[in-house]
Structure 1
Amino acid sequence: MRQTIQALALGAALMFAPAAVHAQAEVEQTQDAVADPENTIIVTGESDREVVEELGKIITRPSRAGKPIARFDDAVCVKVSGLPDDMAELVAQRIRDNVSSIRGVSLGEEGCKPNAFVGVLNNVTQAVDNLRTDEPWLFEGLLSYQLDRIYDGSEAVRAWHVFDERNMDGSQIPGKQRGTSGEDSIASTINMIENASRFGRTRVNLTGAVVLVETGALREKTFRQLADYATIRILASVSDEIDTARSSLPTMLTLFGPRSPYQPTELSEFDRAYLESLYDLPANSRDGQVIAAAVTRYRTNLGMED
C-alpha cells in the first residue's frame, strides 16, 4: 500500500489541478474564522455516559467476525494535494501536529513515503469511481462491504483505508493471502481451522488512508478544520454519517454534515478521547473496548465525577 499511496501522491498534481484555484479562494476567505461560544456544546447530566457511548458506536465502522479494531502500526506519513503548495503544507503540518499529540502513534520522518493522503478536488464520488476502474490497486484487498462504506456519510467526502491482519508480533499469519477469499482456497481453509486458536492474538493494521474532499465544501472552512477532520479520518476507521439532529456531543466528524447545528473549530474532547483510547489500548482490542475506554477518558479529561 505504501507504493500505491506514493503513486497516487505523485499523480496528484494533475488529478487535482482543477480544484486548486477554487480551493485557494474559498479557504483564504475563512482562515481567520474564530470559534463561536454559542456553538460549544457540553454534555451534562446523568446520561453523559450513554451519550458518549452512543456517539462512539455511531462513528465506529464495526469490525467483522470479531476482529480487532484497526489502527496504524507503521509511522504515519502525510501528503496533501489539490491546494497551492503553501496551503497544502499548512494543512499537512497541522495533521502532523495532531498525530504527534496522540500517544501510541508515530509520525514519519522527513522524506518518508506517504501512506496517508488528503486530496481536494471536484466531484469526489466520480473520482472514486474512476479510480476503482483505472487504478484498482488503490483498493487492494477491500471486501464488498468495505467498498460500499466509501460512499456512506457526507457527499462532500470519500475516505477509505487498506487493512492488513497480522499476528500481534507483526509477523504474517500462516496461510493468509491478501485478496484470497474463495471457499475452496488453501488460505481460506487454513484460516478457518486456525481461527479459534488465533482469536485475541492478531491485530489489524491500517496500512494506507485516503481522504478526498469536495472543493466546494471548503467554503467557510478553515485550514485547521480541514486538517483536524482529515486527522480523525486518517487515524481511525470511522464514519461521518451522524444524525446531527440527535447528537448533542461535539465532534469534528460533523464538519461536512448538511444539517449540522454547529461547526466544530478543531478536534473536540470526544475526538481526542476516542483517538487516544484507540492507540493507548492493546493492538488486539475490540470495538467495544475502545468505545468504553473513550467514555472513561472523556469523563476524566473533563473532570466529571463517577
Structure 2
Amino acid sequence: MIQKFARSALVGMAACAAMAGGAAAAQDQDDSQGSIIVSGELPEPSDIRGTVRAVMQERGNNDPLYRYLDPLCLHVTGMAAEANAFVRERMLANAAEAEIELAEEGCTANAIVFVVQEPVELLALLEDRQPWILTADDRRRVEHEAGEGEAVLVWHNFEDRSAEGNRMAHSAAIPGATGSAPPLNVQTRVNTRAQARRVGATHSTAVQSGVVVLDMDHLVGMDLERISDFATMRLLAPGLIPFGHQFDTPTSITSPFIAEDGETEMTRFDRAYLRALYSLQPNAAANRLPAAILREYEGEG
C-alpha cells in the first residue's frame, strides 16, 4: 500500500490499491539456507540498441545529445510539504547516482515537477505569469495534450553551448571575419571558440529548464517512489520519448505509466540510460548513446 504519510499527502488518493511487485527474473528460494537465488538472462545487445533507438527523440542522428549541463536545481510542488520533500529527495538521489551535478541549496530552480488536479488551469496560469517558460511550439503541443487528458506533460527549454558545454559570449563580431567585414546589427551568442572537427560537433545543447506536470487524477494507486522515479526519467532524459513503444525487453519505469500496471521503480535499463547519457562529453552525438547504454547495462552488477 502507499506509505502512510503519502496517503494523507496526495489529496483524492485515499483509495490506493496495493501494488504488485513483479520481478523480471525468475527466483528460486532455498528454504534450508534462507537465501534467494536470482536467475535469468540479460537481453540481447540488439534488443537494448533497438529499444534506445525506438524511444530516442534524436533517432540516432549526429546532433549533440540533450541534457542538463548545469548543476541540477530541483523544485517539487503541488502536494503536501512532506510528500513534495520525499519526491524531491528521491529524484536528487537518482540524479546523484547517475553522477549528475547537483546545485547548492538556495539555487534558482532549473527543473520543476508540478502535481496538479487541473493541468489546463496550470498552463493558463503559467502563460499569464511566466510566459517565457513555454515556447510557442511547446505551448501548442502541451495544451493539446492537456486537452486530451494526458497523464503527464513534459517540456524543456534548450540553449546551444560551446563544444565543452560552456555558455557562449554575446558578440556583434562575425567569427573569422577580417578586413572591412561589418559587425552584426545586434548582440547575439557566438561560438567564438568553435573549430572544425573530424569527430564531434562544434557545439553542445544544454537544458536551460525542464518541467514535468503530473495529473493527480492519474496517480491514484501509485506510491511516491514510483512517481519520483518516473519524473526523474522524464525530466533528466529530454530525448527520451517512450510513449507508443512497448517495453518488453528491457523494461522501463516510463511505460506504461498506469496504476496497477508497469514497473514500480527505475529499472536496470533506466539507470543505465541516465548513467550513459551523462557520462558522454557535452558535444557527443546522439548516435553514440545506444552503445554507451549497452556498456552501462552490461556492466551493472
- Shorter-chain TM-score: which interval? 0.7 to 0.9
Counterpart contact for 1:229–1:255, Cα < 8 Å: no
Whole-angstrom distance in 1 between the partners of 2:12 and 2:189 = 55
- Give 1:225's aligned residue: 226
**Conserved? CA contact 1:119–1:211, under 8 Å:** yes
SS of the equivalent of 1:37 reads coil
Does 1:72 find its partner at 2:74?
no
Quote the offset at 1:86 in angstroms. Answer: 0.7
Amino acid of the structure 1 residue aligned with 2:13: E
Matches of 2:149 and 2:226, distance apart in 1? 15
Distance in 1 separating the partners of 2:266 and 2:14: 18
In the superposition, the TM-score normalised over structure 1's length comes to: 0.72
Trace 1:98-109 onto structure 2 (pairs within 5 A): 98-103=94-99, 105-109=100-104
By how many angstroms is 1:91 displaced?
A: 0.7
Q: Say what the alpha-carbon RMSD is for the aligned residues.
A: 3.9
Structure 1 Cα separation of the partners of residues 149 and 283 of structure 2: 30
Higher strand proportion (structure 1 or 2): 2
Aligned partner of 1:36 in structure 2 is 22
Partner of 2:242: 240
Contact 2:218 2:258 in 1 (8 A): no
Moved more, 146-155 or 230-239: 146-155
Question: How many angstroms apart in 1 are the aligned matches of 2:113 and 2:79?
Answer: 10
1:140-166 Cα shifts (integer Å, max 9, x gaps): xx473x556646798100011111111
Asked if the contact 2:63/2:285 (under 8 Å) is kept, the reply is yes
Taking a change above 3 Å as real, the CA distance of residues 195 and 112 of structure 1, as seen in their structure-2 partners, is closer
- Report what 2:163 is aligned to: 168
Secondary structure of 1:88 counterpart: helix
The Cα of 1:290 is off from its aligned counterpart by 1.2
Q: Any unmatched runs of 5+ in structure 1?
A: 1-19, 177-184
Aligned in 2, Cα 1:190/1:159: closer, same or farther, shift over 3 Å?
closer
CA deviation after TM superposition for structure 1 residue 201, in Å: 2.3
- Shift in Å, 1:127: 3.6
Supply the distance in 1 between the matched residues of 2:59 and 2:170 (Cα, whole angstroms): 21
* Alignment-derived partner of residue 83 in structure 2: 87
Equivalent residue, structure 2, for 1:55: 51
Q: Distance in 2 between matches of 1:54 and 1:76?
A: 29
2:107 equivalent among 112, 135, 147: 112
CA distance in 2 between counterparts of 1:287 and 1:242 reads 20
Please show how residues 193-232 of structure 1 align to structure 2 within 5 Å. 197=196, 200-232=201-233
Letter in 2 for 1:95: M
Change (3 A) 1:128 1:24: same
Separation in structure 1 between the aligned mates of residue 59 and residue 25 of structure 2, nearest angstrom: 33
Q: Which has the larger radius of gyration?
A: 2
Query: Aligned partners of 1:25 and 1:76: how far apart in 2?
Result: 31
Structure (1 or 2) with the greater helix fraction: 1
Change (3 A) 1:61 1:154: farther
**TM-score where L is the length of structure 2:** 0.73
Query: Aligned residues, how many?
Result: 265
What is the Cα deviation at residue 33 of structure 1? 4.1
Is the 2:90–2:228 contact (alpha carbons within 8 Å) kept by the matching residues of 1?
yes
The alignment status of 1:290 with 2:294, answered yes or no, reads no
Tell me the secondary structure at the aligned position of residue 11 of structure 2: helix
1:24 alignment partner, SS class: coil
What amino acid does structure 1 have at the position aligned with 2:254? L
Match of 1:252 in 2: 253
Q: Residue type of the partner of 2:10?
A: A
Shift of residue 27, structure 1, vs aligned partner? 6.8
Q: Quick one: which amino acid aligns to residue 88 of structure 1?
A: N
* Structure 2 unmatched ranges of 5 or more: 1-6, 27-38, 173-183
Question: Residue 161 of structure 1: SS of its match in structure 2?
Answer: strand
CA apart distance, 1:291: 1.8
Q: Distance in 2 between matches of 1:80 and 1:289?
A: 32
Asked if the contact 1:39–1:263 (Cα under 8 Å) also holds between the matched residues in 2, the reply is no
Structure 1 residue 58, shift from structure 2 partner: 2.4
